[in-house]
Structure 1
């Protein structure tokens, strides 16, 4: 039997009075806590989990005693032509108790409900982890958009200075009109880039606002020295083993298969005898008022008690082929569930390997982007010196400046991509927890 351990949802009671329009910076932990309160996707998953817990209760109910009571009261009149011969009040009360003794189909239905409840728990654990990924992705999309906009604004300012200097040199005869036109074209393109970055930032902010249910607060940036090591362990197949043992989507699929198997066995047991213990108590009373036109004592009447205890055995003989059809259908659904589980297992293996490789790639990418940024800065300094002494033209200078700002954007994005890659790797092996987000938050300014 597969045991499902729910991811712990962090306590958020202290956040009830927290306003999301504060002016101080919020880190990743704060945004995640707000998402737990306000994100409709997470709330829907939580409701689905609560609903799924009832499968076990409903399945167990079929094995427990059932008790019912009923009662009725009525007024009775007997007439012959126009003459009232008799009239009286009658009351009936009954209670019945039934306890299944042998109901193999209900036993398998109980096992089915138990597996479905465990599957709901596994699915909710996955949704908790998926919420962490969505929060982190949207958070770093905002930071990345801010960094890109900052680089775009710096690029506009730097190229604007080059354009102004080119115009001044042209006015005194030290530059050609081509140089002025080149700088103006570069400046116009930088303006377009800045507008694009502004739109991307607005879109990224809206994505976070949709999760937390309000205006976006200031977000804390990542520290400059955030570590980006390769995955540990470095052996990819070790991660695959962890994923096959702990991935919550795979657990949910396996439990759904267990439920489908129990459902098929329940359908296969529908033709077997069913044995129940039954008990029934009935009491009837009547109070007469008239008989033959004469008033009778209203306390006089009839009273009867009936008690019945029995062991009831029933067995379907022929139901038009419906029982056999339901059995075949249930086993076909079981076969389908097994194939879906196999597909999920292979998907987990592929995702773990892909995410592991991605972490390795992003770790190396951060190092390479950091070096590329340093090289772009050195290249710009050398180009500026060459331009001043006449060895480089303004086009070379503009290209070097654009290269520097592109390197800044690429380096910033590589760090965010690395963090998301690590979180996705942990998601694929089922180990992602709020503590992972808190550890990232501890590395923020």
Structure 2
């Protein structure tokens, strides 16, 4: 048992002080990481961030503008099938000279009004149907944009919290390990510890500092991603509470996949895109068919060709116009072929989105439920790691454990705390991703998640991992 005797000669008050420092510092480190530092003088929670994004996100606003465009296009197509009335009026003063005769001066008037009504024009009809389908497509895309924003806000919000927690853990661990390193240096100067112990804790401190630099960059990137939605820097975000009832998603995955296929707005939008493409095929094929219009004209004038003076002329015309396409050089046929190919592209697009939706729904469902199990497992792991860390500190106190054993136990406790944090954030993200996939995510879901948050000043002093 040579390892147990390594520190038998170092059992002294100074060694006890080091062990006591490790234990007290580590407890303080966990408390610091769990409670946070932020002030609530200006703070945001999930709902306030969402409302900021709702006002500032250009993607959602653009989607609503597209709906208005679709409505305007539909009304234009409808208007082409309604009566078309045009009119004109002309008043003129005319000077006419024949040879050496005196100039003849006279006034002239001309009035014209025309009414045209389409009787048979399949191209206009199918264009109107296409415009209606396109409007419905834009409406579903707008709904999709709203649901995407709900998820994106949640995802980016909790990505910031996760990155900030990770950075806080590394910074706090670096501070505590730095104090430990200074104590070890002092003991080494007094020849009370081995040089290997000094190197070990210095190496650990260097690793923590390197990880903290990476974590800080990750936190800044997460904040930038959230700022992209709100156009404002996030400040003092509300944190996730300690005690939340993480419930697994109910129901069978196969049933939820069927719900996603029928309710997801992206799939519905693609369905309307296919309908619009089908109507476009019909519209192009209508280029082969006759067009029939009714026409009513009224014409009144007292001047004729080149404004020659004539008697009063009153002319009324009622007509049926029939236009029959005979040959267009093959252009009409090729327009039909193009429309059919576009229809095929849209059909492939829907199949691609369905497969992607199945994957997203399945992953979100399985990961959310797995996160519930991971949370429980990580809570137990953290409790065990905390007890192990205590035991190692006590063993070091009595000279039966090495400093490396103590540092390893601290690392395991730190990793358990980090894994628990990731599992909690993973549950929230995957749960909201699942709700988005099945097309049922709403602001009410956001309010529910928001109720799981608290500002640091609202949190009671939380127990350390050792007390769990």
Do both proteins adopt the same fold according to a TM-score greater than 0.5, normalized to the shorter chain?
Answer: yes
State the TM-score, normalized to the length of structure 2.
Answer: 0.83
List gaps (5 residues or longer) in structure 1: 1-21, 292-299
Mapped partners of 2:331, 2:368: distance in 1 = 54
- What is the alpha-carbon root mean square deviation over aligned residues? 2.2
Mapped partners of 1:32, 1:111: distance in 2 = 37
Q: In 2, are the aligned partners of 1:155 and 1:401 still within 8 Å (CA)?
A: no
Q: 2:411 is matched with which residue?
A: 402
Change (3 A) 1:75 1:269: same
User: 1:249 aligned to 266, 288, 301, which one?
Assistant: 266
Mapped partners of 2:215, 2:44: distance in 1 = 22
Mapped partners of 1:83, 1:29: distance in 2 = 90
Mapped partners of 1:383, 1:81: distance in 2 = 127
- Give the SS at the match of 1:90: strand
Q: Deviations over 1:244-270 (max 9, x none)?
A: 110111111111111111111121222
Q: 1:69 is matched with which residue?
A: 87
Mapped partners of 2:357, 2:415: distance in 1 = 35
Change (3 A) 1:69 1:23: farther
Change (3 A) 1:332 1:197: closer
Do structure 1's residue 313 and structure 2's residue 322 form an aligned pair? yes
Deviation at 1:302, TM superposition (A): 4.3
Structure (1 or 2) with the greater helix fraction: 2
- Give the SS at the match of 1:310: strand
- Give the SS at the match of 2:95: strand
Change (3 A) 1:67 1:179: same
Q: 2:69 is matched with which residue?
A: 51
Do structure 1's residue 327 and structure 2's residue 336 form an aligned pair? yes
Mapped partners of 1:28, 1:285: distance in 2 = 76
**Runs of 4 or more off by more than 6 Å in structure 1?**
none
- Give the SS at the match of 1:306: strand
Q: How does 1:282-361 map to 2 (within 5 A)?
A: 282-285=299-302, 302-361=311-370
Mapped partners of 2:137, 2:72: distance in 1 = 12
Q: In 2, are the aligned partners of 1:45 and 1:124 still within 8 Å (CA)?
A: yes
Q: Deviations over 1:153-182 (max 9, x none)?
A: 221122123212212221322112221222
Deviation at 1:80, TM superposition (A): 4.7
Higher relative contact order (CA 8 A, sep 6+): 2
User: 2:424 aligned to 391, 394, 415, which one?
Assistant: 415
Q: Deviations over 1:310-343 (max 9, x none)?
A: 2222211112222222222222222232222222
Mapped partners of 2:410, 2:351: distance in 1 = 53
- Give the SS at the match of 1:53: helix
Mapped partners of 1:183, 1:336: distance in 2 = 61
List gaps (5 residues or longer) in structure 2: 1-39, 455-468
Q: 1:230 is matched with which residue?
A: 248
Deviation at 1:348, TM superposition (A): 2.2
Q: 1:441 is matched with which residue?
A: 450
